Chains A and B, each alone.
Chain A
Amino acid sequence: MKATRGCAAALLVAFALASRPGAQSPAAPDNIPDFSGIWDGTARARPVNSDNVPWTRGKNFPEVNERALAYMKVFDEAIAPKYDCQPATPPAIEYDPYMMEVVQWPDRVLFRYEKDDQLRTVWLDGRKPTSLDFSLQGFSVGHYEGNALIVETTNFVFDITGFDDYNGIPSSSQKRVRERYWRDGSDLRVTVTVEDPMFLRKPAEYTTRWIPGPKGYRLSAFNCDPESARASVKFMPAKYK
């Protein structure tokens, strides 16, 4: 019993140390780029997401196929799962205008998103997803390449707004998301590339940035309230009776 308590206490201390804003995990190797800390993805860092951001018509708007167009045509904003507190997923979650925390451990990188209390774990130890690993955020593996972190995520479940919730573009279980993170001065940058042969004719990508979060800032619990999430849906004229 004492040993169990000792281990639990050690784990708690380790996570607390690794979660300090702006702090490098004490266990992280020295020869990797430092992405750890709180990152600000709000309007202070970049334009806020909309039906034309980060996917901009005439620039990087995805070339969707007939299947996607059919889904987009019947899409009804009221059915968007976010109105029931279902969180955004890659490639949208990286562009949500909120704070994010990165924690680097030797065998994994943790991305904690303040919005919807989401945690994505990027495994660095070579493990592969199994057939039981399908989920909303998928299964992420990664490695460092020079000064960059490369993340590959697969094993997503079908999501009616899984590509973009502002344009009602779905994503399938064949969605693959590649993220390349690097430091640009004090900024954290990422290029997000998405493939989904069920809905996209070719890969689509955007690049964005975060700025360092406010000094001493700690992520708060979001605790999405389903009643508040859906409270304004009644203000939309109904598309379907």
Chain B
Amino acid sequence: MTVQRYLSAAAVSIAAALVLSAASTLAHHATTAFYDSSKKVEAQGKVTKFVFMNPHAYLYIDAPNASGTIVNWQIELGAPISLKRTGWTPETIQVGAELKVVGAPSRAEGTYGICCARITRPDGTPIVAGGRVTEERPEEQKEKK
């Protein structure tokens, strides 16, 4: 086995671990009824609210929609009781912080929800030093493999 293959195997292992951790935090309900995982949407703007309550934490940001109008996006995260074990706290995200969110858009017409999102600072750097900051969909992880 070449070094490259070793690295690939390691990457797959890490990716698998991330899939598992992400799935565990999204396990209160199925997401397919709410979000279209075949699509991707991006929102970048200032945080208006961060609700760190079980069964799901929610992040709210003011950001433009597809037509350029500023709307309040609701981003669904995992259960705080699980997120806490990966380094998240109610203070992880502060109101007013500028963030970039990429994830699956909500299905109902006229709604602005995002699930299973990658959340970073606008330059792509993580928001939790040394901790996991993404909750990617298992399908995404499979694609990466």
| B51 located at the interface, meaning its Cβ lies under 8 Å from any Cβ of chain A in the complex | yes
| Complex interface bits, A223-240 against B, C-beta within 8 A gives 1, otherwise 0 | 111011101111111100
Could you tell me the distance between the alpha carbons of A97 and B27 in the complex, rounded to whole angstroms? 7
- Would you call B111 and A231 a contact (CB within 8 A)? no
| B97 located at the interface, meaning its Cβ lies under 8 Å from any Cβ of chain A in the complex | no
| Complex interface bits, B60-78 against A, C-beta within 8 A gives 1, otherwise 0 | 0000000000000010100
Kindly provide the distance from the CB of B137 to the nearest chain A CB, expressed in whole angstroms.
Answer: 12
A162-211 with Cβ < 8 A to chain B: 165-166
Binds A, one of B1-9, B30-38, B128-136: B30-38
Binds A, one of B18-26, B39-47, B87-95, B117-125: B18-26
Taking CB atoms, residues of chain A closer than 8 Å to B111 are: 234-235
| A159 located at the interface, meaning its Cβ lies under 8 Å from any Cβ of chain B in the complex | no
B54 touches which of A50, A224, A233, A236 (Cβ 8 Å): A224
Q: What secondary structure prevails in chain A residues at the interface with B?
A: loop
Kindly provide the distance from the CB of A120 to the nearest chain B CB, expressed in whole angstroms.
Answer: 19
A220 touches which of B23, B81, B106, B115 (Cβ 8 Å): B81
- Would you call A43 and B55 a contact (CB within 8 A)? no
| A42 located at the interface, meaning its Cβ lies under 8 Å from any Cβ of chain B in the complex | yes
A61-84 with Cβ < 8 A to chain B: 77, 80, 82-83
Known: A98-B82, A114-B81. A228 touches B108 (CB 8 A): no
In this complex, the member of A227, A228, A231, A233 whose beta carbon has the largest number of chain B beta carbons within 10 angstroms is: A228
Taking CB atoms, residues of chain A closer than 8 Å to B30 are: 50-51, 77, 166
Could you tell me the distance between the alpha carbons of A220 and B54 in the complex, rounded to whole angstroms? 11
Give the nearest-CB partner of B84 in chain A: A220
Known: A49-B27, A98-B82, A237-B108. A232 touches B20 (CB 8 A): no
In this complex, the member of A229, A231, A232, A236 whose beta carbon has the largest number of chain B beta carbons within 10 angstroms is: A232
| B109 located at the interface, meaning its Cβ lies under 8 Å from any Cβ of chain A in the complex | yes
Could you tell me the distance between the alpha carbons of A86 and B23 in the complex, rounded to whole angstroms? 21
Could you tell me the distance between the alpha carbons of A97 and B28 in the complex, rounded to whole angstroms? 9
- Would you call A222 and B24 a contact (CB within 8 A)? no
Taking CB atoms, residues of chain A closer than 8 Å to B34 are: 232-233, 235-236
- Would you call B56 and A48 a contact (CB within 8 A)? no
- Would you call B76 and A232 a contact (CB within 8 A)? yes
Give the nearest-CB partner of B21 in chain A: A43
Interface size class of A (residues with CB under 8 A): 35 or more
| A44 located at the interface, meaning its Cβ lies under 8 Å from any Cβ of chain B in the complex | yes
| A152 located at the interface, meaning its Cβ lies under 8 Å from any Cβ of chain B in the complex | no
- Would you call B113 and A235 a contact (CB within 8 A)? yes
Known: A77-B33, A82-B29, A231-B74. A237 touches B57 (CB 8 A): no
Taking CB atoms, residues of chain B closer than 8 Å to A114 are: 81
Q: List 17 A-B contacts (CB under 8 A).
A: A43-B23, A49-B27, A77-B30, A97-B27, A98-B82, A224-B54, A224-B55, A228-B57, A228-B58, A229-B55, A231-B51, A231-B76, A232-B34, A234-B113, A235-B34, A236-B33, A237-B108
Binding site for A on B (CB under 8 A): 20-21, 23-24, 26-30, 33-35, 51, 53-58, 74, 76, 79, 81-82, 84-85, 106-109, 111, 113, 115
Beyond A48-B24, A49-B27, A231-B56, 13 additional pairs, beta carbon < 8 A: A50-B30, A80-B29, A97-B23, A115-B81, A225-B53, A228-B58, A231-B76, A232-B76, A235-B107, A235-B113, A236-B107, A237-B108, A238-B108
